[in-house]
């Protein structure tokens, strides 16, 4: 199809001259970049486990973005999830000691909300010992926990455990240090006591080190992993929501999903509309009114309600939703392609082709469709925002695919948690802005395409 | 926008008389309504049948147990049970509930029932006055939706017409750029998102307006109307803010097209002022395609209005739909689909008639 390739070339050279088109394409490339980054750098598990609360248990609840501390005089503690400890090994009279130490800075004006230590060890015969201590910037060191693990069940027994800051043993151990404070401390809140200065009930700022010491009695025993989580009020680039989802991950995964929904719906429905309208225009006679009546009826349907019923009865998976949108999305293009088809049909060169005995299908593909393609591209670009907005609306009322993080789903969660009235802007603003800029990029592209397709508009 | 270029050709030829036009549009309205209902019944018919059958059972048992004379007439419990069972099967048969949903009798009876909003009792929801009837629940919310939707549409129409015509008469001016920007805003930003932002700004940061738009005073209170209007401000402003851009841009587009026509040049030559040409001649001639274009976007704006009700807790049909979905109250959902379709096709009908009315090629008589 050489005609099309020549036309496309002209198209691209013209397109490059238009500012709005360039802006739109730049945003689009940014979004594609985000999608690629999500696919490459973010674990796929976070996408699959979006609606599984257990996966998000380590994250803070409704935490603001961490950069908010730059603008506030009093600094809220950042939620820390530390996974890479410094590991040292020691051998003392047949006892192997492995130390996992987590060094972190704590320079905030408020105490952490809690802490949590996860670890997994593998051992054979004699149960190992675990000691946890926290060394503070003032040189003190607090032994928090000291326990022996349960007897092994089997040869390569794997033991996993989580130590919570609320555990009684921690409180018992902390009673020993009560006298070193010049004021009355509360041992039932270890997260406050451990991070308090000794002379006044304020936060002790500086560098802390949490040390996990594992003592093994067999050289085949080993530590599989460990993790230290210090509960804070701010987290990450975009904060977290009420369900502990890391919003930056949700926003990232939302990008490829939105592009997929928008582009699939727009491309498929535009081409269905294109052929439907052309067939109606080309056939004429009795076929055309019947076909166009169907179009009129679909236009008259309030789509939202039919979508609600389809989503309730047939299903809510992403692919079904895309299908529903295509079902109602093609009619606009059908109207356009019909009336343009009627015009082109009466052109002399089409008549000539007919007289030369070319088949109908060949005429449509060789002579009519190439004329309509630019319009089709502009329509595709303009249909993308409609599809993205439609999906976000459906998700917003709770009928989106529940398993997939989309921007609409995030806004739905925000609405259910009454986030707007509680002023949780970091939960609402990012998904809304992402929907907005994705739509704007396609609107700008469609405007640029339009002014190429319809030169009359360029002057305006 | 691209779509607008073509819609300017009405599908029904303008030579057609007004009466005939009215008849075809009414017929189309009816066909659309039936089509939507048949789809609804096809998808939800079996669930609906189960619910209706249960309703019949309940009402028969209730009627019989309340009628002491009838109960004393029977000698044994067994006889009474037989009587009740016979009654139930007779009524189920009479209502066509013993047949599948696609049998003509059952389908027609269901179509008729839905159209008269005779949908029996809701499963879980009740109206504010305590009624369980689907028709009462929906009719109670209907005025609120109509109030919000009509007011916002009227305001958007006024702003859109004047802003659009003004931008068209001064292309390239800052107002014109504002119109283009608002149009992009209109079609790219979800209405419900702007609603949530409005709550954050005007109810949380600056607590001027309530975040929940449900009025606090009871409807019998003489100041209820003021309370209602006060609560309506935020949702209304949101709808207008998001809606007017697309309208103004459409008007601007068609008015510019009219400006290129010869008769405008003729008027200019006659010495008629630019202002008069813009507002009385160009705007009037641009009306038919504008209305047709607007009709196409109505589905979206009605959807947007429903979503806004959810955001602001405005006691209308959108909020009702949201509540019905969350508890899966099927009779209410079917009723709402019908009423929403009805509102929608009537609005389309009005818009359509107006576009024909303004079209100088259509003879009205």
B318-339 pLDDT, tens digit per residue, is 999 989 888 888 888 888 888 8
- Local confidence band at A127 (pLDDT 50, 70, 90 cut-offs): confident
- Local confidence band at A442 (pLDDT 50, 70, 90 cut-offs): very high
Strands in B155-213 per DSSP E = none
Answer yes or no: do A443 and B188 touch at CB < 8 A. yes
Min Cα–Cα distance to chain B from A405, Å: 17
CA-wise closest residue to A253 among A238, A268, A267, A233:
A238
Answer yes or no: do B325 and A399 touch at CB < 8 A. yes
Determine contact: A294 vs chain B, CB below 8 A: no
A14: tokens are 């013209």
Determine contact: A303 vs chain B, CB below 8 A: yes
More confident of the two residues A24 and A300: A24
Confidence at residue B4, expressed as pLDDT on a 0 to 100 scale: 39
pLDDT over 90 at A360, yes or no: no
B308: tokens are 């806004």
**Neighbouring residues of A125: CB distance < 8 A, sequence distance ≥ 6:** A152, A217, A218
Q: Please give, one letter per residue, the 3-state secondary structure of B8-48.
A: CCCCCCCCCCHHHHHHHHHHHHHHHHHHHHHHHHHHHHHHH
Lowest-confidence region among A165-179, A194-208, A295-309: A295-309
Over residues A398-417, mean pLDDT: 90
pLDDT over 70 at A459, yes or no: no
- Local confidence band at A437 (pLDDT 50, 70, 90 cut-offs): very high
Instruction: Give the CA diameter of chain B.
Output: 99
For A45-70, what is each residue's pLDDT tens digit?
888 888 888 888 888 888 889 888 88
Confidence at residue B1, expressed as pLDDT on a 0 to 100 scale: 37
Answer yes or no: do B199 and A420 touch at CB < 8 A. yes
Answer yes or no: do B28 and A304 touch at CB < 8 A. no
More confident of the two residues A428 and A72: A428
Q: How far apart are CA A61 and CA A47, in angstroms?
A: 19
Q: Which of A313, A414, A431 sits opposite B43 (nearest CB)?
A: A313
Determine contact: A382 vs chain B, CB below 8 A: yes
Determine contact: B206 vs chain A, CB below 8 A: no
Min Cα–Cα distance to chain B from A232, Å: 24
Q: How far apart are CA A266 and CA B113, in angstroms?
A: 38
- List, edge to edge, every strand of the sheet that includes A157-164: A80-82, A222-231, A114-123, A157-164
Q: How far apart are CA A40 and CA A20, in angstroms?
A: 30
Answer yes or no: do A396 and B344 touch at CB < 8 A. no
Instruction: Give the CA diameter of chain A.
Output: 106
Residue of A nearest to B348 (CA): A300
**Neighbouring residues of A226: CB distance < 8 A, sequence distance ≥ 6:** A85, A100, A117, A118, A119, A120, A212
CA-wise closest residue to A244 among A46, A45, A53:
A53
Mutation to test the A interface, candidates B6, B26, B252, most A Cβ within 10 Å: B6
Over residues A317-342, mean pLDDT: 88
Determine contact: B269 vs chain A, CB below 8 A: no
Q: Which positions 41-100 of B are in contact with A (Cβ < 8 Å)?
A: 43-44
Q: How far apart are CA B354 and CA B365, in angstroms?
A: 15
Answer yes or no: do A297 and B307 touch at CB < 8 A. no
Min Cα–Cα distance to chain B from A81, Å: 30
Confidence at residue B6, expressed as pLDDT on a 0 to 100 scale: 38
Answer yes or no: do B311 and A420 touch at CB < 8 A. yes
Mutation to test the A interface, candidates B7, B46, B145, B188, most A Cβ within 10 Å: B188
Determine contact: A373 vs chain B, CB below 8 A: no
Answer yes or no: do B204 and A422 touch at CB < 8 A. yes
Q: How far apart are CA A186 and CA B126, in angstroms?
A: 51
**List of chain B residues with pLDDT < 70:** 1-18, 95-96, 359-365
Query: Taking CA A198 as the corner, what is the angle to CA A196 and CA A201, rounded to the nearest 5 degrees?
Result: 50
Phi-psi region of A315 (alpha: psi -120 to 50; beta: other; left: phi over 0): left
For A308-321, what is each residue's pLDDT tens digit?
888 888 888 899 99
Min Cα–Cα distance to chain B from A442, Å: 9
- Local confidence band at A37 (pLDDT 50, 70, 90 cut-offs): very high
pLDDT over 90 at A323, yes or no: yes
Q: How far apart are CA B12 and CA B286, in angstroms?
A: 18
Name chain B contacts of A443, Cβ cutoff 8 Å: 184, 187-188
Lowest-confidence region among A100-109, A187-196, B47-56: B47-56
Min Cα–Cα distance to chain A from B188, Å: 5
Confidence at residue A32, expressed as pLDDT on a 0 to 100 scale: 94
Could you give the 3-state DSSP secondary structure of residue A215? strand
The DSSP code for A185 is: -
B29: tokens are 């309205």
Mutation to test the B interface, candidates A274, A309, A338, A409, most B Cβ within 10 Å: A309
Mutation to test the A interface, candidates B21, B37, B193, most A Cβ within 10 Å: B193
pTM over 0.80: yes
pLDDT over 50 at A174, yes or no: yes
Q: What is each CA distance from B334 to A42, A89, A241, A331, B107, in whole angstroms?
A: 42, 69, 34, 25, 14
CA-wise closest residue to B320 among B301, B335, B298:
B335
Q: What are the DSSP calls for B59-70, one per residue?
A: HHHHHHHH-HHH
For B81-125, what is each residue's pLDDT tens digit?
888 888 888 877 776 677 777 777 777 877 888 788 777 777 778
Determine contact: B311 vs chain A, CB below 8 A: yes
Q: Are A263 and A324 in contact (CB under 8 A)?
A: no
Mean pLDDT, all residues of chain A: 86
Min Cα–Cα distance to chain B from A330, Å: 12
Q: How far apart are CA B204 and CA B267, in angstroms?
A: 54
Name chain B contacts of A312, Cβ cutoff 8 Å: 44, 325, 328, 333
Determine contact: B223 vs chain A, CB below 8 A: no
Determine contact: B31 vs chain A, CB below 8 A: yes
Confidence at residue A324, expressed as pLDDT on a 0 to 100 scale: 92
A2: tokens are 């050489």
Strand partners, A95: A92
Percent of chain A scored above 90 by pLDDT? Answer: 21
Q: Are B246 and B297 in contact (CB under 8 A)?
A: yes
Q: What is each CA distance from A7 to A1, A215, A340, A362, in whole angstroms?
A: 10, 74, 19, 19
Q: Are A219 and A126 in contact (CB under 8 A)?
A: no
Determine contact: A310 vs chain B, CB below 8 A: yes
Asked if the interface predicted TM-score (ipTM) of this complex is over 0.95, the answer is: no
**Neighbouring residues of B9: CB distance < 8 A, sequence distance ≥ 6:** A339
Q: What are the DSSP calls for B94-140, one per residue?
A: HTTTTS-TTSHHHHHHHHHHHHTT---B-SS---TTS--BHHHHHHH
Confidence at residue A11, expressed as pLDDT on a 0 to 100 scale: 63
Determine contact: A389 vs chain B, CB below 8 A: yes
Answer yes or no: do B2 and A382 touch at CB < 8 A. yes
Q: Are A449 and A377 in contact (CB under 8 A)?
A: yes
Determine contact: A309 vs chain B, CB below 8 A: yes
Q: What is each CA distance from A31 to A28, A199, A253, A265, in whole angstroms?
A: 5, 53, 11, 18
């Amino acid at each position: 199809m050489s005609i099309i390739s020549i036309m496309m070339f002209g198209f691209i050279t013209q397109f490059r001259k238009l500012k709005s088109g360039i802006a739109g394409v730049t945003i689009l490339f940014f979004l594609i970049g985000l999608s690629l980054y999500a696919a490459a750098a973010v674990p796929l598990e976070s996408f699959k486990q979006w609606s599984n609360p257990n996966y998000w248990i380590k994250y803070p609840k409704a935490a603001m973005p961490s950069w908010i501390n730059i603008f506030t005089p009093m600094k809220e503690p950042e939620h820390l999830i530390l996974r890479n400890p410094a590991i040292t090994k020691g051998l003392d009279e047949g006892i192997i000691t492995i130390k996992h130490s987590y060094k972190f800075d704590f320079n905030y004006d408020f105490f952490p909300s809690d802490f949590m230590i996860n670890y997994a060890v593998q051992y054979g015969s004699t149960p190992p010992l675990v000691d946890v201590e926290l060394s503070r910037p003032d040189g003190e060191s607090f032994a928090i926990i000291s326990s022996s693990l349960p007897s092994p069940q089997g040869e390569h027994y794997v033991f996993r455990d989580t130590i919570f800051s609320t555990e009684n043993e921690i409180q018992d151990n902390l009673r020993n240090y009560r006298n070193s404070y010049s004021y009355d401390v509360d041992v039932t809140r270890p997260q406050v006591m451990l991070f308090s200065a000794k002379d006044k009930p304020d936060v002790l700022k500086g560098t802390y080190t949490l040390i996990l010491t594992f003592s093994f009695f067999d050289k085949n025993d080993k530590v599989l992993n460990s993790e230290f989580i210090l509960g804070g009020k701010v987290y990450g680039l975009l904060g977290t929501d009420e369900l502990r989802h890391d919003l930056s991950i949700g926003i990232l995964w939302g990008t490829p999903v939105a592009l997929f929904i928008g582009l699939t719906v727009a491309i498929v429905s535009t081409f269905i509309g294109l052929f439907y309208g052309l067939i109606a225009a080309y056939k004429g006679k009795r076929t055309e009114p019947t076909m166009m009546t169907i179009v009129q009826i679909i236009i008259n349907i309030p789509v939202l309600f039919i979508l609600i019923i389809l989503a309730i009865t047939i299903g809510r998976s992403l692919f079904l939703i895309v299908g529903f949108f295509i079902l109602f999305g093609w009619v606009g293009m059908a109207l356009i392609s019909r009336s343009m088809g009627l015009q082109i049909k009466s052109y002399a060169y089409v008549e000539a082709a007919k007289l030369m005995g070319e088949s109908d299908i060949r005429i449509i593909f060789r002579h009519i469709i190439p004329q309509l393609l630019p319009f089709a591209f502009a329509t595709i670009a303009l249909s993308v925002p409609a599809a993205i907005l439609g999906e976000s609306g459906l998700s917003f009322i709770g009928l989106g695919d529940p398993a997939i993080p989309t921007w609409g789903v995030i806004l739905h969660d925000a609405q259910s948690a009454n986030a707007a009235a509680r002023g949780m802007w970091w939960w609402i603003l990012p998904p809304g802005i992402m929907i907005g800029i994705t739509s704007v990029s396609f609107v700008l592209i469609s405007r640029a395409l339009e002014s190429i397709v319809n030169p009359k508009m360029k002057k305006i | 926008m691209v779509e607008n270029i073509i819609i300017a050709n009405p599908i029904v030829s303008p030579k057609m008389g007004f009466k005939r036009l009215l008849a075809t549009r009414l017929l189309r309205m009816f066909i659309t309504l039936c089509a939507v209902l048949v789809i609804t019944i096809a998808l939800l018919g079996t669930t609906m049948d189960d619910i209706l059958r249960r309703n019949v059972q309940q009402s028969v048992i209730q009627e019989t147990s309340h009628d002491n004379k009838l109960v004393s007439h029977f000698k044994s419990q067994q006889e009474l049970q037989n009587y009740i069972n016979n009654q139930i099967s007779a009524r189920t048969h009479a209502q066509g509930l013993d047949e599948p949903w696609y049998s003509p009798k059952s389908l027609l009876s269901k179509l008729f029932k839905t159209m008269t909003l005779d949908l029996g009792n809701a499963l879980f929801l009740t109206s504010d006055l305590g009624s369980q009837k689907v028709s009462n629940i929906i009719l109670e919310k209907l005025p609120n939706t109509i109030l919000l939707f009509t007011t916002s549409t009227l305001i958007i129409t006024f702003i859109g017409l004047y802003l659009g015509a003004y931008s068209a008469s001064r292309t390239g001016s800052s107002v014109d750029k504002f119109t283009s920007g608002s149009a992009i805003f209109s079609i790219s930003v979800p209405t419900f998102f702007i609603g949530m932002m409005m709550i954050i700004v005007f109810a949380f940061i600056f607590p001027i307006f309530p975040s929940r738009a449900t009025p606090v005073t009871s409807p019998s209170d003489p100041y209820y109307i003021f309370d209602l209007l006060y609560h309506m401000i935020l949702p209304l402003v949101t709808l207008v803010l998001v809606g007017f851009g697309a309208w103004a841009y459409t008007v601007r587009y068609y008015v510019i097209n009219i400006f290129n026509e010869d008769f405008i040049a003729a008027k200019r030559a006659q010495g008629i002022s630019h202002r008069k040409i813009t507002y009385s001649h160009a705007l009037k001639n641009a009306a038919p395609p504008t209305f047709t274009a607007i009709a196409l976007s109505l589905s979206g704006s009605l959807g947007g209005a429903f979503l806004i009700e959810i955001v602001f807790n405005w006691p209308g049909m959108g909020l009702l739909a949201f509540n019905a979905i969350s508890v899966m109250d099927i009779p209410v959902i079917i009723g709402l689909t019908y009423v929403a379709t009805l509102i929608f096709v009537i609005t389309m009908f009005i818009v359509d008639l107006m576009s024909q009315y303004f079209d100088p090629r259509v003879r009205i008589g």
